[in-house]
Structure 1
Amino acid sequence: MKNIKYLIALCAVFMTFSCQKLDREISTSIGRDLVDKVYINKSREIANLYTGLPDGMFYMGNAMMASATDEAEHTDRNASVQSFNTGGVNTVNNPDDVWFKYYRMIRAANQALVSLDKIDLNYLKNNPNAAAQTEFATKSAEIKRWEFEARVLRAYYYFELVKRYGGVPLVKESLSLVDTDFSQIPRASLDECIKFIVNECDVSAPQLPPYADLTAYDASLIGRRVNKYTAMALKSRMLLYAASDLFNNPSWAGGYSKPEFISLSGVPRAKRWEDAANAAKSLIDVATANGVGLNPNYRDLFLLNNFNIGEVFLTVNTSTASNQFERNNYPVGYPSGGGLTTPTQNLVDAYEVKTGTGVTTATSTEFDWANATHVTNIYNFIAPASTVATSVTRDPRLNYNIVTNGIANTPTNSYGVTFGTTARFVQTYINGLDAAPKANASRTGYYIRKYVQEGLNLSNNNTAVHNWVLFRLSEVYLNYAEALNEYNPGNADIAKYVNLVRSRGSGVTATSPVSMPPLPVGLSQSAMQARIRNERRVELAFEDHRYWDLRRWMDETNLKADVLGVSITGNTRNTFVHNKVKVEERVFSSKMYFYPIAYSELTVAKGLVQNPLW
């Protein structure tokens, strides 16, 4: 009878997790013992805790989360991601309903944690041989480290739930598989959840190394493991969210009866910003002390082997070479190009125009469609040698992140890309090789470049390993600047760390430097806030920050903004005419600040309360 009660209750909480699968887990107690006692089996169990980390290249099928924001438009209008753009998300239709996924990973982490002391190393401990004693010491230290890797991963999975749903049920232990009625576990408050996540990071960070020791781990997981930087970066991100508007302002929720699930109280807002700033600065100081700074080459962060770059604190590594991302996103005029993720003009316009050369001697300004010089040089990245003194160029990150029409061709810059074939210019002008009326062509006039491995010849089925960045130092610099500006405006560190991001690669030999001039001196608090937010937009484009940033800022202007693109007529540099066009209207209502808890969960889990306005 107890087994039946368990199966019904656990299936209810973890939604689609198969009852048949759970039954198999219960019946294999001998297998559980072997996992707990045998070192190599436990190593693989810890490695398995990484399998729940999100691969943002395939967030929802073949769609990136960018296509649910003003960063991109997904070419396939029937793709599930479009539910976010049309207002189609509800309690039975949410293409990003990760409730089951992350609670399954939390349960796995709890199970791994409760049994770490069962690993049998007596065969080494009792062996007087020096080599055996060295191996015993090494494996004992590794087992200790596993505890804190698992705790950070569990905290990360809770963070992913909290940023979507607010306060969620906190399951901190490996509960009885037989006697626990999981359907009775209530939602914890938002404050309780945030404190739990932050505490797990605080406890774990001192026990983790400030580097990625790849050699000590099972080869079944290739890539970076959780380390000190990861724990501190998660704390920084969580506290930044906790200080932001959404987590401190329940007025949008229409008198919701359980505001503790969606908002914080009891601590002055300035104190939350100060805590967020301090968390980011602590990580910056530790990274600096260990010789970790920004990598001079921006594009390298998103290509092969980025897990070996110090700036990158954690990646999701598929370990299996593939070319699906390239098939999805190569421009349609190239063999097998699907052109699915197409950046918007909204994002392209966010990349500044730089006038002059160098970093400290140049100036920059917002792109302005009413400025003929800006439009004439719309995609210029490097100016012709004859006009260097008065060059007008765009922020180089536009080039590194987005594929534009190939009109930036100048004597010193052949902006040709191969996409696995002979180099040519991408043609998004009307009737061009990559444009309408060609089937599935970009509706915005752009294609994504970030994360694309351009050298893969899809006709030959070339493949490569891909790495999705979860945490990197540049984000932490911007976290620090944002939080500091909110409670201590005018502090010199604000501009300092934003300018470090903007000047990446300046003064060094770098294949993909940013080299943007510093921010103007004397910006007001509100003006600095706008510049920091824009810096996050261009620096972190397509890295799954924009969706959550807009919500935590409660920026309904951009949440409701029409998606824009560019219409290009002509077929040569001298004849191109660019016009901004509306591509799609986007729908946003206040209830989307937090996801709805699925109807199937609410019908069986008595401790759950629905989020506001659903």
Structure 2
Amino acid sequence: MKKVNLYKYIGLSALCLALNGCADFVDNAPDDILTMEMVFNDKTRTEDWLQGVYNGIPDPYWGLTRDIGWEILAKDMTPSQGWAPWWGGTPLQWRIGQWFTNSSWNGSYWTLSQRIRSAFLFINNVHPLPSQGVTEAQVETMKDECRFLIAYFYWLMTETYGAVPFYDQALDPNAPLSETQVGQPTFEFMVDWCNEQFTQLSKTLPAKWENTYVGRATSIAALALRARMLLFAASPLVNGNTWYANYKNNDGQLRFNPTYDESKWKRAADAFKELIDAAEAAGHGLYYKYNSDGSLDPFMSCYGATMQKVNEGNVEVLWLRSGNCNYGEYEQHATPHGKNGNGGFGVTQDLVDAFYMANGKAPILGYNSDGSPIINPESGYREDGFSTEAEYRKTSWYLMSGFPDAELKSEGKWMITQPNTYLMYCNREPRFYLTVCWNGQWFKTHTSNTDFMYGHPDGGPGHDAPQNGYLNRKRISLDYEPRTGVHPYRPGILFRMAEAYLSYAEALNEYDPGNKAILENLNKIRYRAGIPEFGTGVDGNGFQRLPAPTSQSEMRELIHKERRLELCTEGIRYNDLRRWLQADKDLNGPDYGMNFYGTEYSCDPNNQNAFFKRTKYLDRVYVRRNYWMPIHQGQVDTDPTLVQAPFWDEE
């Protein structure tokens, strides 16, 4: 008989040892019923099992970046390509086209099947323990939590692979193949099943938990995941996409419905309206921080939206990961090499270019064939020189702490950019400064500027340097101290209110263009970001509003862009590009950045040693088969009822 301590703290890992093929869903069971009884007759071990199921939730920091890789594929974040040998290749290789059916994937969602079975076993075996304080009501809630996680994991797998084997119970590992090799249901079946589960759970789960249990499933989280799923299901990738008109599962059913259905957008919009109403009724909303004079501080508002603790007033968080999040590695790899970091985890030039100017206007309208930008003459954007004076704004954001005269206390202002800053980075919107770390920027813990030039402390030739001239700053704590390795806590947010408002605006625009709620929800995000709203008159920040879009397509473009800027680095954009059918357009071709080999603090286009010069550093490859993650070939070879994701057998 196995010892019980073999199972402790890991949700009974013996139950999560995968067999071949679809037997991932039919894991090894314990060798006798007494062992199960011992576990579920003990409150602590029961809770350990439940936490083991929760641990299947992706880590939204280093896990989402390094292992799963969504932000790397999305062209928002770009680790050093030289890290590929240490990262197992995966997302770093995928972005350049080295992506095959037998490729390994550190963050494989296929393994979530093990968590699903563990959740079913929990439901089947948990029971009240009156002498240990476990009541019938608590048992029912824990069962609902497992049902929530089952639906969530099934959706993550479906969203990623398009179709996966489906079981509504934990099967006997000794069952015949006819019961375990069941093929794959249609995409719409999985959406409908998950929709039903989330809808039911939104009526039985608590709206919120005490701080000790924050991160556990709630009715709000169920509504949020349901709405996000329905938005995906309404989008062009799976709503009217003729690519898959003849693509069938093993049972002969079409995997995806090729007929466009506008009502799916309404279903998504209704789901987000229900979510927003319920969330606001429960006290949720956007996070705001104000200056001493009562004016909005957009820097600290946007910073706090992702960094402020829930129990310290961050009402924006609708759901977060209850387990540990590896934000230590996330911060360490985004810290310059010469300042006690690994120094190669950055954001892309594409994202740098996307942020608005302080006046709310786009700096760049497009690109020429050589990669040079088409500058918006109305924006005030320049990249032909350096600033001659510092820029101050009203905020308590203290990134420039330690720099001479960085704070103007009498005016309630802090310096945002110092003199001699490349003009590309001047006069930009607050979210830009919360996201981008550039060459020559002040680094307060070391009271010196970053120096990314080749052969300089924070630059090449090593791989622990920004390959394109940028490091990431978003979701990096202002109080992080690289020399001591102190990483202040921040929530591992999986869904926040800003996404709900933007998603509601998007769905409304697709089925009811012109609805006034579209602009209202979009403007909520722009107001908090500290840039002019759209419309007429003066907005809440005192800005003259910009002209509102006059067509559905213009509004669509603005909503898509606002999603990118507001939710960047949070694991959202890759699936956005997929569902919009934009990935093969936006994720193909050259990536540009500053000159990695530049040795001079210059922007002279005729100087080959100038650092501030747009330079190609990477060629991305993305074809239509990449829209769906391939099922690993080993699984397909083992189970004849599995049909590979579209086009992986053809291209």
- Corresponding residue for residue 166 of structure 1: 162
Post-superposition Cα deviations, 1:207-263, rounded to whole Å, max 9, x if no partner, equal 122223234x5xxxxx42111111011001100000001112443348434495642
- Equivalent residues, number: 558
**1:503 corresponds to which residue?**
527
Query: Once the 2 structures are TM-superposed, how far is the Cα of residue 192 of structure 1 from its aligned partner?
Result: 0.8
2:121 paired with 1:119: no
Query: Which ranges in structure 1 are unaligned for 5 or more consecutive residues?
Result: 1-6, 125-134, 218-222, 356-362, 408-415, 508-512
1:194-593 aligned at under 5 Å gives the runs: 194-215=191-212, 217=213, 223-253=214-244, 255-258=246-249, 262-264=255-257, 269-296=261-288, 297-303=301-307, 305-306=309-310, 309-319=314-324, 323-335=328-340, 337-355=341-359, 363-367=360-364, 369=373, 370=375, 373-375=380-382, 382=392, 393-406=427-440, 416-418=442-444, 421-429=445-453, 433-437=457-461, 440-465=464-489, 467-504=491-528, 520-555=547-582, 556-567=584-595, 570-571=600-601, 578-593=612-627
Aligned to 2:142: 146
SS in 2 for 1:26: coil
Matched, 1:93 2:103: yes
In structure 1, C-alpha distance between the alignment counterparts of 2:506 and 2:93, rounded to whole Å: 31
Q: Is the 8 A contact 2:67 2:107 kept in 1?
A: no
Deviation of 1:612 after TM superposition, in Å, equals 1.8
Q: Which runs of 5+ in 2 are unaligned?
A: 1-14, 289-300, 366-372, 395-410, 417-424, 532-539
CA–CA separation in structure 2 for the residues paired with 1:62 and 1:166: 20
| 2:65 is the alignment partner of 1:72 | no
Task: Indicate the SS of the match to 1:353.
Answer: coil
Determine if the alignment matches structure 1 residue 11 to structure 2 residue 19. yes
Q: Which amino acid aligns with 1:208?
A: L
Aligned in 2, Cα 1:382/1:536: closer, same or farther, shift over 3 Å?
farther
Q: Which amino acid aligns with 2:287?
A: N
Q: Report the CA distance between 1:375 and its aligned residue.
A: 1.8
- CA-CA distance at 1:324 after TM superposition: 2.4
Does structure 1 residue 106 correspond to structure 2 residue 120?
no
| Identical residues among aligned pairs (%) | 25
Is the Cα–Cα contact under 8 Å of residues 499 and 519 in structure 1 kept in the other structure? no
Q: Is the 8 A contact 2:164 2:184 kept in 1?
A: yes
Using the alignment, how far apart are the partners of 1:48 and 1:514 within structure 2? 46
**Greater percentage in helix:** 1
- Verify the 8 A CA contact 1:167 1:191 in the aligned structure 2: no
Residues 1:14 and 1:465: Cα distance change in structure 2 (over 3 Å): farther
Q: Is the 8 A contact 2:74 2:587 kept in 1?
A: yes
Letter in 2 for 1:103: S
Corresponding residue number in structure 2 for 1:611: 645
Query: RMSD in angstroms over aligned alpha carbons?
Result: 3.6
Q: CA deviation at 1:183?
A: 4.1
Greater relative contact order structure (CA < 8 Å, 6+ sep): 1
Q: State the TM-score, normalizing by the size of structure 2.
A: 0.77
Aligned to 1:131: none
Query: For the residues of structure 1 that align with 2:541 and 2:629, how far apart are their CA atoms?
Result: 36
Aligned 8 A contact 1:321 1:463 in 2: no
Q: Distance in 2 between matches of 1:435 and 1:320?
A: 28
**Aligned match of 2:298:** none
Q: What's the offset of the Cα at 1:73?
A: 1.9
Contact 2:594 2:611 in 1 (8 A): no
Question: Using the alignment, how far apart are the partners of 1:546 and 1:190 within structure 2?
Answer: 21
Q: Does residue 44 of structure 2 align to residue 35 of structure 1?
A: no
Mapped contact 2:247–2:254 kept (Cα < 8 A): no
TM superposition shift of 1:28? 4.4
Separation in 1, partners of 2:509, 2:429: 24
Determine the C-alpha separation between the residues in 1 that align with 2:636 and 2:542.
Answer: 52
Secondary structure at 2:443 match in 1 = coil
Cα distance change of structure 1 residues 542 and 346 upon mapping to structure 2, 3 Å threshold:
same
Q: Is the 8 A contact 1:240 1:273 kept in 2?
A: yes
Is the contact between residue 504 and residue 515 of structure 1 (CA under 8 Å) also seen in structure 2?
no
- Deviation of 1:438 (Å): 5.7
- Give the C-alpha shift of residue 589 in structure 1: 1.1
Distance verdict in 2 for CA 1:393–1:44, change over 3 Å: same
CA contact (8 A) 2:336 2:343 kept: yes
In 2, are the aligned partners of 1:91 and 1:597 still within 8 Å (CA)?
A: yes
